[in-house]
Structure 1
């Protein structure tokens, strides 16, 4: 096929590769795979300067078909950078077929490397949508075949073994959105903002950042119809719209998709240069296209709904929902599996990311009818793909359909897991619940009861006490119950089982004894996390005591509830932040913490004879340098009682004495003494709700 008019010319083009691609003769080829029942596909193109919610496309060109792939090659009139495009798709069959064709809509290309969203109408983050034709495209596909290749300046990803990882879960926008960040207004909440604050991450000591979703999404999704959440903005990003494009509005204010893509790479380069790896929190279990009751058709839903999503055509609301978000991606369909693999490899090759944390990963372990699979093809393919062999793979091993796989996620010796059991046990023991000592010992030892099989290692357990979803560390010790009224759902949203303790007063207080106990409990939690075998993960803001005032579900608050408060960090630099950062660095430097293999009897001595006593809340043990590293043995004790425990100390190795490193009951700087303080002899009086670390020196 060949066609032309006064502005453009085209030929039929090629069915591969999918998405837009530059051709050697200066043209641009477009290819999109559609449902077999698609009857007509049209390429719609918009100029870069068009206010596309107000004008029709500059031109529309019918595409040719090869099998289920529709393609066209523009040989003139289609610039190689800056132009925006989408597809109109029409097909046969009604609602009962499971397809959702709508030729009035212009749809994003699933393989588009860039996405431009509301650029000319709003130009920045979270501006309310304007009224108008609901079929106007809110997001359009983009590409850039003119810019020079990004200059990585020879910076390569730091080599960090899984056993040595210390993960910092963070949100790109919330990290620097607050004015206290000191950044120019245009840079706040951006990729550039993260790059500007690399020194903070270095001073904390973490070596991996795990970024909440950075794939293009619609932060204004709650605004489409009146609902209890329409006063909020989706700041966490768990409503992906594109699997290939970085979130444009995480670039500096008003920047284009091309500029945001470059800024993302500059952020990765800055982190890598600082010795910090980058893991992306990816959402392949659902998209923001919602369901049949509240549809938001803008891409896959209108292209091939029945292939991309799990459906049941025997019911009116046909979208199966194992994610709590309206739809579930049909991840083990062969085409969709390849689509996800292509996305992962794109982020590794194009953006040099180092790994992925998979949101609700158990949803990816279901077949096309939603039934759990023992050996899900997608999970295996990701683990076995040679182009992904060097990246970290972390599963959130549950979904909202009841599939809970902590300790049993299919792994092929590659996949790590968020250990939800670790979180719950640590919270319960340190707040003083009875009968938790044995479980506490198992969890801080690497959860060998859960992971010591199928060639798994301690580091396959990602240990965490707090994460984006739930209480912050400070709120965990300040509130007994959630306080989510600001979310507009009458406090019905968010988890009810938080295993928290307010230390005697709910919320803010002027009682100095309560405040002192809360800081001590925070230190106890942080010590436990950093001395545990496995991979520790801490939450952004916990290093200074960030509070969300008891709200445990702040996904929609683009304000101080989520935003990092740099002035609060400054106030804690010589107090809690100092303690937290020294504890992180202590873990990194001490070879007995973060082992590659599970503990044996030669590695640890438990100073305990009351394992079965539910009222016993004191646990002490010694980690031995059995491998001959030449480091000191570590004596560690946790006291969750409300009284002192006068503990008999074991004899240190020959020629050495015990030196105190940590005592969470002492004020700064005595609570953490980097070089250790001698004077500890045969006994140590461990304070109520305190913990200690002694090192043989």
Structure 2
């Protein structure tokens, strides 16, 4: 970290005990913050209890081709009011007014920054822009929120806005843009549906999108020059301009994003936002640092920045006004954009109290709004018992965690390309289906996100093909089907990475965050593969049999029996007084055999084929009750 940062921050860390009860009580503010627009006046409020003075630098009003001057047209001095808040009220209609804050410190130095509560900015985040909230309303926006499935009945599909639409060989017109995901009737060179129509055809319930808040690492003037996933937060409450067809216009990106979300909702797809409240991209220039030096970030006793995120800094979410900021931000996105869920990046950096506040506020809006996150235990300042991690799941009701134990057992260690797991013939951990053990890590089944692939690490196909390099494509497809069937059919919240179903490859790249469109794009030429239709059928089965998927471990322990018949053959029997289902997963290349109870069975899946639309009945008699499970396949039967 550069000397300038510490020169600014250290005196404040030495003067103020930001963690003290006294500081929290004296300076916690509950009123509205940011630019509060009214047609006749705008009230500016910003929280900075340690500043000596704050001014608003006004640069005029945005309009097309407007050149923002280097020197402000007006300077308005703010007044310190209560709980560390500075306020200024300016008369007149300030819609599209451009401004910055200038902060004066105790030694006379000054620094400028954008408003941390900004809802609109100029291109590439240079200045904050005041907006009239009515200017970004869509027709019908006041209608009641659309209800979507609760977490346990959802099927989550993760993708990037850019990856979904950027592939050159489709007729999607607005490639890489919000509006590209509103286009229907679009096809690849073979005439097969792509984009929104394809996603809808899978039957998924929620689309989880990689970051679309304002991030630093793609030039909004020339977005195709660089690629980045976007885990580099700048303005938390502003849509990113790189996905906009008109990034110069501060309100265009807001309207375009709303249109995208509306189009997904009209196709019965909920939207989950990937949020990154655990760190900021550039700590030195972020308004958190400029306004309250040292407060928003964790530091060691020697004043060195903590770095549990491995991104250079970590947010001090346990402090009251940091926690308040995160809660406010989530609620803004929920209410203004009608989002249906949030995926918290590096959630283990955040504290339990903040996460529970978010859950409580979202429950008031819609208890089915999904909250999931990466519950990795990272960092050494926040005590483990206060972290939002699976070990504390009992204290985090209604919040889910990615189950990396399931992932690694089924596919192998994701950090080693040639590592093998269950589907590649080397089961190392059979406890991934031990529900008594899992209950010690997750307090409820609807906190357990079951996944094999996400934007991070090698794709499943890249790892399987590295571990078993000499297979033909049909065998890769069978192994992929087997893996995907375990995600969809077993207990927990199913999560699919976009393209997993058509054996997505990133050409062996395990961390493609800035690789290129060629590496990251969804290759829509691959969708004419059998595993795509197989996924559709698996999802259909799950939706038709929602009663099989429990929220509580008690139900599983009462009604579900898991048997490892061998390292390759797993039997899962789920039975109560109303139904008796038998699931077999065979990772062996050859057909495997086992005994079942005598009687009649309806077959739903066998030999990588779906029988959902036909009454396929087989009968087993006493003494002739051996069933065969085809190699590398899943067998699903119901005793009738």
Q: Distance in 1 between matches of 2:230 and 2:241?
A: 12
Mark the CA change 1:639 to 1:146 in structure 2 (over 3 Å): closer, same or farther: closer
Mark the CA change 1:418 to 1:539 in structure 2 (over 3 Å): closer, same or farther: same
Q: Distance in 2 between matches of 1:431 and 1:277?
A: 34
Is the aligned partner of 1:88 residue 2:43? no
* Equivalent residue in structure 2 for 1:560, among 514, 518, 522: 518
* Equivalent residue in structure 2 for 1:235, among 228, 239, 250: 228
Aligned to 1:212: 210
**Which has the larger displacement, 677-686 or 419-428?**
677-686
Structure 2: state its 5+ residue gaps. Answer: 1-28, 184-194, 412-420
* Equivalent residue in structure 1 for 2:603, among 631, 655, 659: 659
Structural RMSD (CA): 3.1
Aligned to 2:6: none
SS in 2 for 1:560: helix
Q: Distance in 2 between matches of 1:326 and 1:602?
A: 47
Mark the CA change 1:514 to 1:351 in structure 2 (over 3 Å): closer, same or farther: same
Q: TM-score, normalised by structure 1?
A: 0.76
Is the aligned partner of 1:514 residue 2:530? no
Mark the CA change 1:535 to 1:660 in structure 2 (over 3 Å): closer, same or farther: closer
* Equivalent residue in structure 1 for 2:353, among 368, 372, 377: 377
Say which structure is richer in helix: 2
* Equivalent residue in structure 1 for 2:450, among 458, 463, 467: 463
Structure 1 residue 361, shift from structure 2 partner: 1.0
Aligned to 1:303: 291
Is the aligned partner of 1:413 residue 2:397? yes
Aligned to 1:10: none
Aligned to 2:180: 193
CA deviation vs aligned residue, 1:66-92 (integer Å, no higher than 9, x gap):
24222222214xx43222221121212
Aligned to 1:273: 266
Q: Do the aligned partners of 2:182 and 2:260 also contact (CA within 8 Å) in 1?
A: yes
Structure 1 residue 557, shift from structure 2 partner: 2.5
Mark the CA change 1:346 to 1:148 in structure 2 (over 3 Å): closer, same or farther: closer
Q: Do the aligned partners of 1:188 and 1:252 also contact (CA within 8 Å) in 2?
A: no
Q: Do the aligned partners of 1:397 and 1:409 also contact (CA within 8 Å) in 2?
A: no
Q: What are the within-5 Å matches in structure 2 for residues 480-499 of structure 1?
A: none
Is the aligned partner of 1:473 residue 2:479? no
Is the aligned partner of 1:645 residue 2:623? no
Structure 1: state its 5+ residue gaps. Answer: 1-13, 95-100, 119-136, 224-230, 366-375, 480-500, 506-512, 665-669
Q: Do the aligned partners of 2:606 and 2:633 also contact (CA within 8 Å) in 1?
A: no
Q: What are the within-5 Å matches in structure 2 for residues 8-407 of structure 1?
A: 17-23=32-38, 26-49=40-63, 55-67=70-82, 68-76=84-92, 79-93=93-107, 102-103=110-111, 106-118=112-124, 138-145=126-133, 147=135, 149-152=137-140, 154=143, 156-184=145-173, 187-196=174-183, 197-220=195-218, 233=226, 235-254=228-247, 256-290=249-283, 295=284, 297-312=285-300, 314-315=302-303, 318-365=304-351, 376-385=352-361, 387=364, 390=367, 391-401=369-379, 405-407=389-391
Structure 1 residue 164, shift from structure 2 partner: 0.6
CA deviation vs aligned residue, 1:552-581 (integer Å, no higher than 9, x gap):
100113412111222322x33xx2211111
Q: What are the within-5 Å matches in structure 2 for residues 526-675 of structure 1?
A: 526-569=484-527, 571-572=528-529, 575-598=530-553, 599-600=555-556, 603-606=559-562, 616-624=567-575, 626=576, 628=578, 633-652=580-599, 656-659=600-603, 661-664=605-608, 670=609, 674-675=613-614
Q: Do the aligned partners of 1:641 and 1:688 also contact (CA within 8 Å) in 2?
A: yes
Q: TM-score, normalised by structure 2?
A: 0.82
SS in 1 for 2:140: coil
CA deviation vs aligned residue, 1:453-493 (integer Å, no higher than 9, x gap):
xxx431111111111111222213112xxxxxxxxxxxxxx
**Which has the larger displacement, 38-47 or 424-433?**
38-47
CA deviation vs aligned residue, 1:156-188 (integer Å, no higher than 9, x gap):
32231222111111112221122234222xx21
Mark the CA change 1:93 to 1:581 in structure 2 (over 3 Å): closer, same or farther: farther
Q: Distance in 2 between matches of 1:407 and 1:450?
A: 5
